[in-house]
């Protein structure tokens, strides 16, 4: 995976998009490498994933403008589908994915961050969908996920006016959960990932499914989704051990993902 560095720290995988000369912009190869990195995750071991960008300046500065500049309508459609399919795979990836946004998250960069479960960022982060200034719409989910995350009014302002927002505003509108100094960002991402990884993995996965799938349907159907995923946990060793430890007033040693 030439454009994505992959490291494992205990039960946490860290993926670093590494094309700093182009501020980690997403061309087809980078997208393929991101997909390959997710395909390579050993789900028997990994319980949370962190996605970040190489360098101090940029998470991802968008889809590759040079590569898009000569695309035909058909090529544009294919490129949009290619990115959308990968970002949907991240959104529905079985374990939680944290975006550690360490700088520019523009266009496809903001869209990548939004396909993750949780976003935290550094003080120098900048978020936006500048596509209309390039004569296109956001193409990797920006017209859909931004409105769902921060509401249609604010999303439309950002998208129509191509208005970028800094870290403090991103925090205020709920696009990110927290803002850290550049040095503190990765330690904070790892601390959060490790806190997730310490919990019963099947229960965490079921929570992700319940939230994501429940948001797509009405509340009557949503609670049925929850009931099923809640019930499934009672077939796991981790549920038995988790509750036994509580009743025996002892600390859980570790969850075994069974």
Of 21 and 251, which CB lies nearer to ligand CAA in the complex structure? 21
Q: Are 118 and 98 in contact (CB under 8 A)?
A: yes
Contact between 107 and ligand CAA per CB under 6 A: yes
Distance CA 105, CA 60 (A): 5
Q: Are 33 and 19 in contact (CB under 8 A)?
A: no
* DSSP strands (E only) in the chain: 4-9, 12-17, 48-53, 58-60, 97-101, 104-106, 118-122, 126-128, 165-166, 178-180
- Choices 104-112, 116-124, 166-174, 230-238; region in contact with ligand CAA by CB under 6 A: 104-112
Task: Say whether 111 is catalytic.
Answer: yes
Contact between 25 and ligand CAA per CB under 6 A: yes
- Per CB under 6 A, which of residues 176..235 are in contact with ligand CAA? none
CA atoms within 13 A on the CB side of 52: 24
Using CA atoms, how far residue 252 sits from 141, 196, 239, 247, in Å, is: 40, 15, 11, 11
| Site size with ligand CAA, rule: CB under 6 A | 22
In the complex, the smallest distance separating the C-beta of residue 253 from ligand CAA, rounded to whole angstroms, is: 45
Task: Say whether 131 is catalytic.
Answer: yes
- Choices 128-136, 199-207, 218-226, 227-235; region in contact with ligand CAA by CB under 6 A: 128-136
Of the candidates 15, 37, 49, 61, which one interacts with ligand CAA according to CB under 6 A? 61
Of the candidates 13, 23, 193, 196, which one interacts with ligand CAA according to CB under 6 A? 23
Over the window 64 to 93, marking each residue x when it contacts ligand CAA by CB under 6 A and - when it does not, the resulting string is xxx----------------x----------
In the complex, the smallest distance separating the C-beta of residue 108 from ligand CAA, rounded to whole angstroms, is: 4
* Angle, alpha carbons 35-40-46 (nearest 5°): 115
């Amino acid at each position: 995976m030439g454009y994505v560095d992959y490291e494992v720290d205990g039960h946490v995988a860290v993926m670093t998009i590494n094309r700093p000369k182009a501020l980690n912009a997403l061309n087809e190869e980078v997208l393929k490498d991101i997909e390959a990195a997710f395909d390579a995750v050993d789900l028997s071991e990994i319980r949370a994933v962190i996605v970040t960008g190489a360098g101090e300046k940029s998470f991802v500065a968008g889809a590759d403008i040079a590569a898009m500049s000569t695309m035909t309508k058909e090529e544009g459609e294919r490129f949009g589908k290619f990115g959308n399919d990968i970002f949907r795979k991240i959104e529905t990836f079985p374990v939680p994915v944290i975006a550690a946004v360490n700088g520019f998250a523009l266009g496809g960069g903001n869209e990548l961050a939004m396909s993750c479960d949780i976003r935290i960022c550094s003080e120098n982060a900048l978020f936006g969908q500048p596509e209309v200034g390039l004569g296109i719409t956001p193409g990797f989910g920006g017209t859909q996920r931004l409105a769902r995350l921060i509401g249609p009014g604010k999303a439309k302002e950002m998208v129509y006016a191509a208005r970028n927002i800094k870290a403090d505003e991103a925090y205020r509108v709920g696009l990110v959960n927290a803002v850290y100094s550049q040095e503190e960002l990765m330690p904070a991402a790892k601390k959060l990932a490790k806190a997730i990884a310490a919990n019963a993995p099947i229960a965490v996965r079921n929570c992700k499914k319940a939230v994501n799938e429940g948001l797509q349907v009405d509340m009557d159907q949503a609670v049925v989704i929850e009931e099923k995923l809640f019930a499934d946990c009672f077939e796991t060793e981790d549920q038995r051990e988790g509750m036994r430890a509580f009743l025996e007033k002892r600390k859980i040693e570790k969850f075994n993902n069974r």
